[in-house]
Chains A and B, each alone.
Chain A
Amino acid sequence: MATPNSPLWEVFIRSRNGLAHKHVGSLHAADVTLALQAARDIYTRRGEGLSIWVVPSSAITASDPSEKGMMFEPAESKIYRHPTFYDVPDEVGHM
């Protein structure tokens, strides 16, 4: 339960150099320092990470599930946006 004293934080972990930080979960903590410590204690116990980001959950603006038709369905019919739509001549080799 989010109380005024322990807001919710989203945790992102980068597992290796060269990879992007990936969302792994959330936690409650009183402030950003304790959130970072809690993220270390909860999400990197098995050597999962080299870097941690914590972000206040309240800072995230999410898309509205009821708008998913408008938001995402128009993309489904645009198969020409996928690289596999195009035939690449053999002479081109690996792209």
Chain B
Amino acid sequence: MTAASITVSETPLVLYVLRRADDALILGHRLSEWCGHAPAMEEDMALANMGLDLIGQARELYSYAAKVEAKGNDEDKFAYLRDVRQYRNLLLVEQPNGDFARTMTRQFFYAVFADLYWRAMMMSRDTTLAAIAAKAEKEFAYHVRHSSEWMIRLGDGTDESHRRAQTAVDDLWAFTGEMFAVDDAERGLIDAGIAVDPASLRPRWLKTISTVLGEATLTMPQNDWMQKGGRTGHHTEHLGHLLSELQSLQRTFPGAGW
């Protein structure tokens, strides 16, 4: 027996909230994969803490999406009973952990964006989103600090750590453009003062990234070609594998709880 996937009425606001919730859940799940495997106990705790921040954000956003949609879905159904093509997260956050440098680079690229994004979202006309933003911004401010310090130490560390960090920066760079893209569904929310235009944050994102990479003696990639698709459900091959693990229990034993 397996649980069937749900259908979601993706109005612009539901879609918008699900996209942010999926970013947080998928990145949070990726960080949870480090639990018990990090290079040191101290870092194991740090990664788990950041993962829990993200999963907490995902829960708040899914609950809000469920309330807006009002079709009987809830946070668990959104997380456990949507297929890979129904997921709306950025391609960046679903990329595999790889080595520690790759995980930190992914975290660094995303956290710098998310910190700017949620700080701006504190001014949203949607009071629920503004409240979620106020909590998320403090959490991301710490993720930025943590990942920035690691980027500097990995880049400006040994030859081996530098090589690994540079490889991760180069490999993940093409997934960063999607963070700043806007489609018609979101344009309406931006015009209504509910959402923030991410493109307006790009200069500040680039400045922080370039400052930290400079201090880390890492080279900022120059290529402008960017991979997109996550926001419309066109994912890399990695997300399906992630979901098969994340959803296995609820798909096999529908409604199981403890």
Most buried by A among B43, B142, B145: B43
**Inter-chain contact A41/B45, CB cutoff 8 Å:** yes
**Other-chain contact of B42, A33, A41, A45 (Cβ < 8 Å):** A41
Residue of B whose beta carbon sits closest to that of A27: B42
For residue B82, CB closer than 8 A to chain A, the reply is no
Residue of A whose beta carbon sits closest to that of B158: A5
Which chain A positions have C-beta within 8 A of B45?
Answer: 38, 41-42, 45
**Other-chain contact of B149, A6, A37, A42, A45 (Cβ < 8 Å):** A37
- A45 CB to nearest chain B CB (Å): 6
With A6-B40, A27-B42, A28-B42 known as contacts, the answer to whether A34 contacts B49 (CB < 8 A) is no
For residue A30, CB closer than 8 A to chain B, the reply is yes
- A57 CB to nearest chain B CB (Å): 14
**Inter-chain contact A33/B149, CB cutoff 8 Å:** yes
**Inter-chain contact B46/A41, CB cutoff 8 Å:** yes
Which chain A positions have C-beta within 8 A of B149?
Answer: 33-34, 37
> How many positions in chain A have a CB within 8 Å of any CB in the partner chain?
14
- B154 CB to nearest chain A CB (Å): 11
Which chain B positions have C-beta within 8 A of A13?
Answer: none
Which chain A positions have C-beta within 8 A of B142?
Answer: 40
Which chain A positions have C-beta within 8 A of B43?
Answer: 38
Expressed in whole angstroms, the Cα–Cα distance for A38 and B150 within the complex equals 12
**Inter-chain contact A37/B145, CB cutoff 8 Å:** yes
Expressed in whole angstroms, the Cα–Cα distance for A69 and B60 within the complex equals 59
Expressed in whole angstroms, the Cα–Cα distance for A66 and B233 within the complex equals 68
Residue of A whose beta carbon sits closest to that of B47: A41
Expressed in whole angstroms, the Cα–Cα distance for A80 and B105 within the complex equals 63
Expressed in whole angstroms, the Cα–Cα distance for A45 and B46 within the complex equals 10
Which residues 121-145 of B sit at the A interface, judged by CB distance below 8 A? 142, 145
Residue of B whose beta carbon sits closest to that of A35: B42
Which residues 223-249 of B sit at the A interface, judged by CB distance below 8 A? none
Expressed in whole angstroms, the Cα–Cα distance for A34 and B145 within the complex equals 10
**Inter-chain contact A28/B40, CB cutoff 8 Å:** yes
Which residues 16-54 of A sit at the B interface, judged by CB distance below 8 A? 27-31, 33-34, 37-38, 40-42, 45
Expressed in whole angstroms, the Cα–Cα distance for A6 and B40 within the complex equals 10
Other A-B pairs, 12, CB within 8 Å; known A6-B40, A31-B153: A27-B42, A28-B40, A33-B149, A34-B153, A37-B145, A38-B42, A38-B45, A41-B45, A41-B46, A41-B49, A45-B45, A45-B49
Q: Report 23 cross-chain contacts, Cβ distance below 8 Å, ordered by A residue.
A: A27-B42, A28-B40, A28-B41, A28-B42, A29-B42, A30-B153, A31-B153, A34-B42, A34-B149, A34-B153, A37-B145, A37-B149, A38-B42, A38-B43, A38-B45, A38-B46, A41-B42, A41-B45, A41-B46, A41-B49, A42-B42, A42-B45, A45-B49
